[in-house]
Amino acid sequence: MKTLWAPWRMEYILGKKEPECIFCSYPKKTNDRDNLILYRSAHNFVMMNKYPYNNGHIMVVPYIHTSTIDNLTDEVLLDFMKVTQYSLKCLKEAFRPEGFNIGINIGAVAGAGMEEHVHLHMVPRWAGDTSFMSVLGEIKVIPEYIMETYDKLFPVFNKR
């Protein structure tokens, strides 16, 4: 068994938690850039992960506050998958990754950090995107400032 080290995420794990669900409160605000929201559809939105595993780590999130996809209507679920498909296309255009990790963690034991509001993670991957830094130095190298990544992705997501 191999071990995935992600010590940079301790800031998220040990940091101050928002008083309310960010997936419910952030879309109600108008400052999408400050809240890292890249795209909005009728039933879902795309948001960058503030504590990314890699550049371009995004999340597809339904507006409905639910802990599992079981509670999504067919209309919301179809939109969820269409937004996921669109996000994949946008990330390919913006960053030309060699692969992706895509997944939904349902429940704390499955790794859900925000278990009360279901969301899908999409992480672009490149050969060699993990290195000795994360293994030996317990440091993850993210080669680009998060707001620069946002500024690259936003126009790609919103050119329709």
The answer to whether 150 and 36 are in contact (CB under 8 A) is yes
43 is catalytic: no
Instruction: Name the residue among 66, 33, 60, 55 with its Cα closest to residue 129.
Output: 55
The answer to whether 52 and 148 are in contact (CB under 8 A) is no
Which H, E and C letters describe 71-111, residue by residue? HCCHHHHHHHHHHHHHHHHHHHHHHCCCEEEEEECCCHHHC
From CA 38, how far away is CA 143, in angstroms rounded?
20
From CA 15, how far away is CA 7, in angstroms rounded?
13
From CA 35, how far away is CA 49, in angstroms rounded?
10
Instruction: Name the residue among 153, 99, 154, 89 with its Cα closest to residue 123.
Output: 99
Selected catalytic residue, list 43, 57, 119, 121? 119
- Residues annotated as catalytic (active site), given as ranges: 119
